[in-house]
Structure 1
Amino acid sequence: MSFINPFPDLKATHIPDWKKYLRRQTLLESWDTQRAKLPTNFPQKAESPSVWSWEELDLESVTHDLTSLEIEEIDEALRNFKKENILLNQISCENFSLPTLGRHLDRIAHEIFKGKGIASIRGLSPDMYSVKDNVIIHAGISSHIAPFRGNQSGSNDQVLHICNREDMGIADLKAPSTAQSLPFHTDDTDVLAFYAIEASMAGGEMLWASHGKVYNELAATRPEVLGVLAESDWPVETETEPSDYVRLPLLYNDDQGPYFWLARGNLTGTERTPRPLGIPGLTLAQADALDAVHFAAERHSIRIAPRKGELYFVNNLSILHSRTAFQDSDVKDEKHPRARRRHILRLWLRDPAYGRRMIGRLEQRWSQVFDTELSRKRGRWLLSRDMVPEVISEKLFREKFPVGTVSSCQNA
């Protein structure tokens, strides 16, 4: 079923509109074009520990508070790593040894892949370290969660600094680099690893919602939406050339249960980066299905305000994530001696032993992101929140960080 959307005012937007969503539903019901049944080979109900709603999840049960001994162990691992002059691309659980904390990290990894799908660690003091040391700590701890890091940009960036760069005058700035809210979506990774270096003055909350819980609500109330999501005709904008797109489904199923794969910006465009004219728009049914996922996720999501020094690990293929808009402040006072400018480090992680087995085009994409040989040889580490990975050229990068300071081939 692929009716072109004859109502331009009802097209899907990057930030979902509840009133438009209701109007679309009414139209589609009046046309009676959708079959109210689940897609073939999909379960009536998703069942796993990662199926939960906000009132069913106890965050404290998936949070580890660092002891003073464990913090000393992290500091010792940092000193040893730097003393050995090891490249950042080579950081691993072997050369960032955490014998005591490591046992808890094994439990956390199990929680992420086989349990609730999320976990957090708190107790670090990022102000005690340089930006580079914070990056090393984040990568070192994360290497105990999953062994492989992903390339997060065309320049093979291993770590991204998620913060507001709207004052830099970049016209086509991507949505994560603004202070705007982000809708529910997934990334191209098994696990998202976040480290809060600094919190915002207001807003910037993270929202997490279970794929399985969203699936179950839609299966019970609007199964036709799942049928639309499972069709292989979604025009997804690619990251390569303007006007490039591929036709893919947004809903998949395997032996671990159903899951969504959707990057909303690649389906709707954003205010700063509109969808290229050469790419087909979404049908009315597709716009309806995209918003149905978002609003169901919103109903079941748990919301947390990132606190400075906390690490968060999220199973990307079990948990949808979004963000509220936020406001930074450069005002300093006795209570806040530093500017409160939201700064989150993000890594993409994969463990083939526990992660899902990707299929088709997704398998191809995961192979690109987790090309370990490429990461080791040309992985790039931005060690400043002021560098914007999607717009910085290789030439400018080398001018800002000469060889010998931050390089895929030199000590980082």
Structure 2
Amino acid sequence: MSVIAGNRLSANHPPPRRGSIGGPGVWYGPDLKKSGEWIYALSEIERTEMVDAMRHARSCSSEIADMTKSDFSMPKLGRTLEELRHEVLHGRGFVLFRNFPVEDFNFEEIATMYWGFGTYIGSARSQNVRGHLLGHVTDITDQYADPNNRGYLSRRHLLYHSDSVDMVSLLCLHKAKQGGLSTIVSSYTIHDEMWKRRPDLAKRLYQGVPRSRRKEIPKGKGPWYELPVFNYLEGRLVISYLRQFIDEAQEHGDVGPHDPLLIEALDLLTELAEDPKLYLSMNFEPGDIQLLHNHQILHNRTEYVDWPEQERKRYLLRLWLSPQDGLPLPEAFAERYGTVTPGDRGGVVIPGTERHVPLTAF
């Protein structure tokens, strides 16, 4: 067992003997761009079911956070969502829904429909220290400057990362004037390409990697923790990656600088993620919903130029979701997820957090 920079490093869940992963989770963006097989357009019947279910749910409860799957009876759309959730969990790792009903509805009605959509995917998890179960992805830097705000509350470019939850969903209400593309890449493809080029670097990412918690420190925990980037468990690759938090961990005196092999491995991962031969870009239109499997997909967003009118500014709603049939996770994930129990893991929870569904960004 080796020791590097004062941290004990050992393989958590090592790679398969063959090295590469393979399977439906390995894909290349340009191939998918041509096929469009990852896009599902809601039918008029499914849209009508969603609207009717929203009206029923609102007649039963005034609080969105209290609404459950049983409040949203959607026979056809419900089956569709469960089938596509399975595809996201066990297939290519993502899907883009189109034609979600956002026109001619007020904000609370849209939020209620989106919440109902989410109940068929998994349980909603807190997305920040404020306990937001419904995230508002928009630029608020001119209205509410806070150094602790996450990047999704700005216009800036967001680097490739995975979120600390099983699945993430984004509903587009308004698109940017220019830019704001969503770009995704398969971590399975990155892993296998890395294994071809530099298996020594891939193996390094199966060892412990320190990460900063920033201000998101759970009760009884320290300011940093250790978790491999790559984990292989029960025949599936599980990734956890956010380079910024990994690099910030070095600021803690008991962590120290990254070892050279780790730096090289992280740089190669970044290089592969940013390779046009690997990634897939999409420009959201109003009514689009992107659903991603965070253990399988890395995502980023390009910088964007917004509209001057407040009512036209880029605006997306976000859900972090934990499905009951989620993948088994290594116990080490409990350091970030709180627990590894499917349906009850992930998100941001610190002392004093009160989970709720806000109807504004701040």
**In structure 2, what residue type is equivalent to 1:155?**
R
Q: Pick from 217, 220, 245 the counterpart of residue 266 of structure 1.
A: 245
Structure 1 residue 158, shift from structure 2 partner: 0.6
Deviations 1:263-318 (A, max 9, x none): 2221234xxxx975646343333222222112212221100011111111111111
Structure 1 residue 40, shift from structure 2 partner: 8.0
Q: Could you tell me which residue of structure 1 aligns to residue 344 of structure 2?
A: 370
1:321 and 2:299 are equivalent in the alignment: yes
Structure 1 residue 211, shift from structure 2 partner: 1.1
Q: Could you tell me which residue of structure 1 aligns to residue 134 of structure 2?
A: 159
Structure 1 residue 55, shift from structure 2 partner: 2.5
1:168 and 2:143 are equivalent in the alignment: yes
Do 1:108 and 1:145's aligned partners in 2 also have CA atoms closer than 8 Å? no
Q: Could you tell me which residue of structure 1 aligns to residue 331 of structure 2?
A: 360
**In structure 2, what residue type is equivalent to 1:247?**
E
CA RMSD of aligned residues (A): 2.9
Larger radius of gyration: 1
Structure 1 residue 257, shift from structure 2 partner: 2.2
Give me the TM-score of the superposition, normalised by structure 2.
0.84
Take 2:250 and 2:114, find their aligned partners in 1: how far apart are those partners? 34
Structure 1 residue 127, shift from structure 2 partner: 4.1
Give the direction of change, closer, same or farther, for the CA distance of 1:99–1:370 in structure 2 (3 Å limit): same
**In structure 1, what residue type is equivalent to 2:282?**
I
**In structure 1, what residue type is equivalent to 2:321?**
L
Q: Could you tell me which residue of structure 1 aligns to residue 57 of structure 2?
A: 81
Q: Could you tell me which residue of structure 2 aligns to residue 402 of structure 1?
A: none
Deviations 1:136-178 (A, max 9, x none): 11110121123x1112223322111011122135251322221
1:343 and 2:315 are equivalent in the alignment: yes
Structure 1 residue 115, shift from structure 2 partner: 1.5
Q: Could you tell me which residue of structure 2 aligns to residue 286 of structure 1?
A: 262
Do 1:199 and 1:343's aligned partners in 2 also have CA atoms closer than 8 Å? yes
Take 2:240 and 2:164, find their aligned partners in 1: how far apart are those partners? 8
Do 1:198 and 1:341's aligned partners in 2 also have CA atoms closer than 8 Å? yes
Take 1:264 and 1:322, find their aligned partners in 2: how far apart are those partners? 12
Deviations 1:176-195 (A, max 9, x none): 22111111111111111110
Q: Pick from 117, 122, 126 the counterpart of residue 102 of structure 2.
A: 126
Counterpart secondary structure, 1:187:
coil
1:45 and 2:3 are equivalent in the alignment: no
Q: Could you tell me which residue of structure 1 aligns to residue 158 of structure 2?
A: 182
Q: Could you tell me which residue of structure 1 aligns to residue 217 of structure 2?
A: 240
Structure 1 residue 319, shift from structure 2 partner: 0.9
Alignment of 1:137-156 (within 5 A): 137-146=113-122, 148-156=123-131
Structure 1 residue 106, shift from structure 2 partner: 2.1
Q: Could you tell me which residue of structure 1 aligns to residue 184 of structure 2?
A: 208
1:297 and 2:273 are equivalent in the alignment: yes
Q: Could you tell me which residue of structure 2 aligns to residue 255 of structure 1?
A: 234
Do 2:227 and 2:333's aligned partners in 1 also have CA atoms closer than 8 Å? no
Q: Could you tell me which residue of structure 2 aligns to residue 116 of structure 1?
A: 92
Percent identical across equivalent pairs?
Answer: 19
Do 2:100 and 2:287's aligned partners in 1 also have CA atoms closer than 8 Å? yes
Counterpart secondary structure, 2:324:
coil
Gaps of 5+ in 1: 5-37, 332-337, 388-412
Counterpart secondary structure, 2:71:
coil
Give the direction of change, closer, same or farther, for the CA distance of 1:105–1:341 in structure 2 (3 Å limit): same
Gaps of 5+ in 2: 6-10
Take 2:76 and 2:304, find their aligned partners in 1: how far apart are those partners? 37
Q: Could you tell me which residue of structure 1 aligns to residue 8 of structure 2?
A: none
**In structure 1, what residue type is equivalent to 2:336?**
R
Alignment of 1:96-107 (within 5 A): 96-107=72-83
Take 2:345 and 2:331, find their aligned partners in 1: how far apart are those partners? 17
Q: Could you tell me which residue of structure 2 aligns to residue 18 of structure 1?
A: none
Counterpart secondary structure, 2:37:
helix
Structure 1 residue 99, shift from structure 2 partner: 1.2
